[in-house]
Structure 1
Amino acid sequence: MTTTASAPAAVTSGVRGGPWATLVAIAFGVIMVALDGTIVAVANPAIGADLQTSLAELQWVTHGYLLGLAVFLITAGKLGDRFGYRRMYMVGIIGFVVVSVAIALSSGVVALVAFRIAQGVFGAIISPAAMGLLRAAFPPHRLSQAFGVFGGMLGAASAGGPIIGGMLVSSFGWQSVFYINVPVGVVAVLLGVWLLAPNRAADPGSRFDLVGVGLLSVAMFALVWALVEAPVVGWTAPVTLGSAAVALAVGTLFVLWERRVVDPLLPLGIFRSASVSIGVVLMILVALGLIGSLFFITFYLQGVHGYSPLVAGMVTLPMSITMAIGSPLGGRIIDRVGTRVPVAVGLLAAALALFGLSLLRPDSGVAFMGIWFVLLGGGLSVVMTGATAAIIGNAPVRYAGVASGVQQSAMQLGGSLGTAALGAVLSAAIVSSLPRHFAAAGLPEIGAEEATAMASVVSQGGAAVPEGAAPDVAAAITQASHLAFMDGMHLAFGIASVVMVAAALLSLLMKPAPRGGEAVVHI
């Protein structure tokens, strides 16, 4: 059948509830969630030293947040549709702040990781609710502009996390990266009370699909777990294959269940829109290119160049600035000329930037890197805006929360896939080329097993220099290791560049969202 839903009527008084007032109101909450995804990376060494954690435990400080966020996003989107975006947004903000304080007060890693998972859950509540508020407040012909500003805030906050985190940790300790959420959260709550229109549910009559929630949560958890563990234990390890099998099996059951339930958690009919489906794929690829590239660039700048985390963050600042400017500008362009051409051009720009990054050398200067960072940030910011508009703008308003959850989930999965898959490419290239670089440096010959054992250190931009090695030997090993790392990074960026070109061709199949006020979906 064909369903058409109109936006819930917003009750406004003066500025309150207006489109730009809504955007201002959600800004601090959105920035807070995005910042916590990257700011903690800088604090991890200090957390590990203070709480005396192992490397595996320390990794879960990051992985726990990612799991909580990815697993709950679509369910949180449905909660927003069902109970109102304003109400869920405020619940998310307050919960996020309270859990942040609990994390800062944690005296053990187990409690800290548990609270990080809870923080991810509350972050998952905030993002779809914020998107739903935008979808309901802005007219269709200005949605891309709103999503552009939204995407600019996300990109700038994510990329700026390492810089802000470096300053906070060096001045006030690791707890400060969580305490900073208190004043930001208070401002977010006050702005929400003042500027957001009274709460109105977009889909108040639907029943809650508890079976769907359970199946989707298990499938998403297993999928993210497989992507997180694969780089550590290997792609063919039992835990990786087992998690992937569970994700596939339970995901299939979820789809079958959603096809028969009266009020599904995720109405599969929204994917009959080619623009929605293509937008999801493009969002995965955008995250793959952005987060995957930042992952490698961090190791390149800190390991090969020897920069501190703060300096490395400053070197990537041109990309942050370009994303902050490019997203709203891209939104304006998309509102005027449509989605396909700007998104295709953005993807081609990103492909060229990734190709340029594949040409980096161990001694490349900041200016040369900056050219490609600017091009990458500008290209991907337009794509992110266009893909977001395609997904949410082509879904009925009453499903705006769910559609936003799908968009955010795609971005999280793309980031995990980028670091896992491209990381595997990097490691394989290092194992292959390390013996050759050792031989060229006049070092003793090493076999595949030795290269494999050294790959973990080399893939992070380091060098496995034996204790007590002579200075000239240590220098030769370091140079050979850095050259092997560069081989792997070049291949990973080359593959990512080809993927972006393919995505540009795919983007030409997208259609603009309906401009009459509502999307029409056949369910």
Structure 2
Amino acid sequence: MTTVALKSPAGKWIMVSAIMASAMAFIDGTALNVVLPALQKSLQASGADLFWILNAYLLMLAALMLIGGALGDKLGRKRIFMAGIFIFICGSALCGLSPGVTYLVVFRIIQGIGGALMIPGSLSLISSSINVKERGKAIGTWSAFTTLVTMGGPVLGGALADAGLWRYIFFINVPIGLAALVMLWFKVNETKDDDSGQTLDFPGAITIALGLALVTFGFLRIPAVGLYNWQVFLSLAAGVLLLIAFLIIERKCSYPMMPMKLFASATFSGSNLLTFFLYAGLGAGMLFMSLNMVQVQGYSQLQSGLTFLPFTLMMIGLARFAGSIADKFGPRLLLICGPAAAGVGLLMLSFIKQTNGAADYWTTFFPGIIVLGLGMSFTVAPLTAAVMGAVSDHFSGTASGVNNAVSRIAGVFANAIFGALAVLFFFGALQTQLKGVKFSPHDKQMVTAQAANLGNAKVPEGINTDKKTIGKAYRDSFISAYAKIMRTSAGLAFLGALMGFVFIHGVKKAEHQ
């Protein structure tokens, strides 16, 4: 397959179009976390609703991204990439027009379908088109500039949310996507594999989608009906069985969307385990930090968005450098120290109690964010390079799809499990906080029912007990739940570092996988 130099005109157009399209997905993720409090208030969404809004998108990414990568390898990476961008911007526009939670969940599914075709396409185009000697630098450049383009996402999202215009966070994807489509159409050549006789693994896609959806449903039902309710038991059991069935299908399928032979490489397996643990911890940590800042600490949503600037600036400044180091010395040391540093940052953030708001940012959230940003800056590009370097060019789209799907599956499980745990932690802490307060049974039930809303819990109307006491109990309970979630997230990041230590050694390009 013909490749081009990174600095050639063709290489530059590939990089710009891939960065523009990828930026939409990053904007959607980073900005959405910031606007969730405004969205929750505007749509009267419960805590479980928020996690479904997040997971509807992630479920489709996790289920279809593997097929998206294989489709690109088979039918043409540019063609599938462009189709994904078009579907994604249509879904984004519909999300912005959503009149309620149910509609928003459905339209997020459409976004997810587009993202599943779009996201693996960007890295697949880079890996299949850029010279192998410059691939690490290209991936580092992609990481840095994607972060640069999306840096304004949380800030813009916060400003729009404070102004009551949170819907426009979806609309900003439309012009970015249209610009990427124009560049791809006129300036980027098509690439695909010569062997195009394989069929697509739709049984695998359907099985993993249903399995993940049932597991998600089961966990998110726990706070409402309890762990031992038949709905929870059947959903989790059926979901786990379907995920096991998915692995069996992939092993026996002639043309699997997740070729199990890729996992014969210890580096590929270890990189994906690292991805799962690290991104599960990162996703949960960033989400609950945003909710804590706005709903408990008193930050405006614009201020909340601005707090992530140090993180993004570090990614811009260090991602390309980290990619170059990985090219020269290999990714192993970076993939041990990076996740470990991220875990330290999450752990530092877990010790933050009630603050005086944004005025205390520099002595409370800022140190932990810096350490977290440092860890992620030295992880992202080497991790991607390790994944892509562990397989042959023939499987570049599939490998990108697998790794991106693993990060989204991590997000699905994190949102489902941490969503359930957060409500249970909040409820348990609230019970402790209210031990000395006298309620009627009806009033107590009304007060504790608000635990499902997490940081958006409001003192019910008609309660005779001191409302300030109840409000303080809600805040203290959320902070207690937040601390436990962040420490668990830190533990997952440390597990990721352990995966790097155990599995990732020298990375040599596979020739005959």
Task: Measure the CA separation in 1 of the matches of 2:151 and 2:464.
Answer: 39
Q: Name the amino acid aligned to 1:25.
A: S
Offset of residue 12 of structure 1:
9.1
Task: Measure the CA separation in 1 of the matches of 2:72 and 2:236.
Answer: 29
Q: How many residues align?
A: 507
Offset of residue 468 of structure 1:
5.7
Helix, strand or coil at the partner of 2:487: helix
Q: Aligned pair 1:513/2:507, yes or no?
A: yes
Offset of residue 332 of structure 1:
1.9
Helix, strand or coil at the partner of 1:512: coil
Question: Which of the numbers 27, 39, 47 marks the counterpart of 2:31?
Answer: 39
Q: Name the amino acid aligned to 2:412.
A: S
Instruction: State the match for 2:471 in structure 1.
Output: 478
Instruction: State the match for 1:119 in structure 2.
Output: 111
Q: Name the amino acid aligned to 2:430.
A: L
Q: How does 1:18-97 map to 2 (within 5 A)?
A: 18=11, 20-40=12-32, 60-97=52-89
Query: Which deviates the most, 126-135 or 417-426?
Result: 417-426
Offset of residue 169 of structure 1:
5.0
> TM-score, normalized by length of structure 1?
0.85
Check the 8 A contact 2:60/2:209 in 1, yes or no: no
Instruction: State the match for 1:5 in structure 2.
Output: none
Q: Aligned pair 1:489/2:473, yes or no?
A: no
Task: Measure the CA separation in 1 of the matches of 2:440 and 2:416.
Answer: 26
Q: Deviations over 1:388-414 (max 9, x none)?
A: 222222122121112111111111122
Check the 8 A contact 1:427/1:455 in 2, yes or no: no
Change (3 A) 1:317 1:519: same
Task: Measure the CA separation in 1 of the matches of 2:97 and 2:284.
Answer: 32
Q: Aligned pair 1:376/2:367, yes or no?
A: no
Change (3 A) 1:355 1:43: closer
Offset of residue 305 of structure 1:
1.2
Check the 8 A contact 1:435/1:445 in 2, yes or no: no
Change (3 A) 1:105 1:202: farther
Helix, strand or coil at the partner of 2:454: coil
Helix, strand or coil at the partner of 1:17: helix
Offset of residue 125 of structure 1:
0.5
Gaps in structure 1 of 5+ consecutive residues: 1-7
Question: Which of the numbers 177, 182, 185 marks the counterpart of 2:177?
Answer: 185
Query: Which deviates the most, 418-427 or 485-494?
Result: 418-427
Instruction: Give the aligned CA root-mean-square deviation in angstroms.
Output: 3.5
Check the 8 A contact 2:59/2:112 in 1, yes or no: yes
Offset of residue 352 of structure 1:
1.6
> TM-score, normalized by length of structure 2?
0.86
Task: Measure the CA separation in 1 of the matches of 2:370 and 2:224.
Answer: 32
Instruction: State the match for 1:302 in structure 2.
Output: 294
Q: How does 1:385-396 map to 2 (within 5 A)?
A: 385-396=381-392
Instruction: State the match for 1:130 in structure 2.
Output: 122
Q: Aligned pair 1:358/2:354, yes or no?
A: no
Check the 8 A contact 1:358/1:491 in 2, yes or no: yes
Change (3 A) 1:501 1:222: same
Q: Aligned pair 1:244/2:239, yes or no?
A: no
Change (3 A) 1:408 1:398: same
Check the 8 A contact 1:322/1:377 in 2, yes or no: yes
Offset of residue 203 of structure 1:
4.5
Check the 8 A contact 1:344/1:508 in 2, yes or no: yes
Q: Aligned pair 1:258/2:250, yes or no?
A: yes
Task: Measure the CA separation in 2 of the matches of 1:157 and 1:492.
Answer: 30
Check the 8 A contact 1:430/1:488 in 2, yes or no: yes
Instruction: State the match for 2:459 in structure 1.
Output: 465
Question: Which of the numbers 77, 84, 99 marks the counterpart of 2:91?
Answer: 99
Instruction: State the match for 2:135 in structure 1.
Output: 143
Q: How does 1:276-355 map to 2 (within 5 A)?
A: 276-355=268-347
Check the 8 A contact 2:137/2:320 in 1, yes or no: yes
Check the 8 A contact 2:280/2:492 in 1, yes or no: no
Helix, strand or coil at the partner of 1:508: helix
Q: Aligned pair 1:398/2:394, yes or no?
A: yes
